[in-house]
């Protein structure tokens, strides 16, 4: 990036968010990270705290309704999770898979704080849940979220899924009646190689596809390997309907849309994979 492009980016940041973004970006270029929030981030922090208070940290709708979530700090997706519309498209596909194949086990690779893992087990969508999560602090939050819902059995929390990760769970699941959900921030291009996919060919998969973290060659290679064993379809983030939530009537429309946002860098898309017949 040349000096002209750098200046343009700094100027764009200023026009978007004012002096807070300008100062933060300027010092970041000097290698100094300042913990300065822009106005939108401050607003989202406020909305996260408000929605936690109003819902008492219990999911209002969606397939995880009544699932409790522990309090978190500065987590912008929390309002969407508590409303129940977070990754609504993924929730729909989870239920579709469950109904079509009567699946028993759920493996969440890249579990974050456990929204899908805990929600699926608490709502009795699956009988067993295995969560892979690389960050120790997040693994602790996953565990706390399970315990917050009085779920003391039928779950396992493991560290980062790396080469050979299937060997850690091979004796704990039946691949034929298991749904895998991958959300590993671009590592899908490394982890899901031909060998791994061949071992998983009887499973069902939802893969969050981070095309913006990869080049066209690696994306094509992954898709080619997947399609050797699976029939696929694409889904992407669709619209949300805040009118269904009476609890949001006290907020203006800008705040409602912010609460339903998942803070994606681009429109998200997922691969839905069924074993070839």
Instruction: Supply the pLDDT for residue 74.
Output: 59
**pLDDT tens by residue, 177-215:** 999 999 999 999 999 999 999 999 999 999 999 977 778
Is 21 in the same domain as 66?
A: no
Is 22 in the same domain as 95?
A: no
Is 207 in the same domain as 245?
A: yes
The parent domain of residue 24 ranges over 3-36
Residue 194 located in a structural domain:
yes
Closest residue by Cα to residue 118 from 57, 204, 52: 57
- If one counts the domains in the chain, the total is 2
Residue 68 located in a structural domain:
yes
Residue 151 located in a structural domain:
yes
Is 102 in the same domain as 24?
A: no
Measured in whole angstroms, the distance separating CA 3 from the mean position of its chain's CA atoms is: 35
Residue 83 located in a structural domain:
yes
Is 11 in the same domain as 138?
A: no
Residue-wise burial string across 85-110, b where 16 or more C-beta atoms lie within 10 A, e elsewhere: bbbbbbbebbeebbeebebebbbbbb
Is 14 in the same domain as 130?
A: no
Tell me the chain's radius of gyration from C-alpha atoms.
Answer: 20
Residues of the chain with pLDDT under 70: 1, 6, 10, 13-14, 16-30, 34, 74
**pLDDT tens by residue, 215-243:** 888 899 999 999 999 999 999 999 999 89
Instruction: Supply the pLDDT for residue 120.
Output: 98
* Three-state secondary structure call for residue 178: strand
CA separation for the pair 205, 12 (Å, rounded): 39
Domain containing residue 65: CATH number: 3.40.50.150
Is 78 in the same domain as 13?
A: no
Q: Is the pTM of this model over 0.85?
A: yes
Instruction: Supply the pLDDT for residue 259.
Output: 93
Is 23 in the same domain as 117?
A: no
Is 151 in the same domain as 235?
A: yes
CA separation for the pair 276, 178 (Å, rounded): 15
């Amino acid at each position: 990036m040349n000096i002209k492009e750098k200046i343009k980016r700094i100027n764009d940041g200023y026009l978007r968010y004012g002096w807070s973004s300008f100062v933060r970006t300027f010092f970041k270029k000097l290698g100094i990270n300042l913990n300065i929030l822009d106005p939108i981030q401050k607003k989202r922090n406020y909305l996260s705290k408000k929605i936690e208070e109003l819902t008492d940290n219990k999911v209002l709708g969606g397939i995880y309704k009544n699932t409790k979530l522990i309090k978190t700090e500065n987590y912008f997706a929390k309002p969407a999770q508590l409303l129940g519309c977070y990754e609504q498209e993924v929730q729909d596909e989870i239920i579709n898979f469950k109904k079509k194949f009567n699946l028993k086990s759920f493996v969440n690779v890249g579990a974050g704080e456990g929204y899908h893992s805990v929600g699926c087990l608490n709502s009795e969508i699956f009988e067993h849940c295995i969560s892979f999560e690389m960050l120790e602090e997040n693994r602790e939050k996953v565990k706390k979220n399970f315990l917050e819902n009085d779920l003391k059995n039928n779950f396992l929390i493991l560290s980062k899924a790396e080469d050979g990760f299937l060997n850690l769970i091979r004796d704990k699941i039946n691949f034929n009646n298991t749904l895998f959900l991958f959300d590993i921030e671009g590592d899908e291009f490394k982890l899901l190689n031909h060998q791994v996919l061949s071992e998983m060919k009887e499973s069902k998969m939802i893969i969050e596809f981070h095309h913006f973290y990869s080049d066209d060659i690696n994306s094509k290679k992954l898709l080619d390997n997947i399609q050797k064993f699976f029939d696929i379809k694409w889904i992407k983030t669709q619209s949300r309907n805040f009118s269904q939530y009476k609890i949001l009537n006290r907020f203006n429309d800008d705040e409602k849309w912010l609460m339903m946002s998942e803070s994606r860098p681009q429109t998200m898309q997922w691969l839905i994979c069924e074993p070839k017949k």
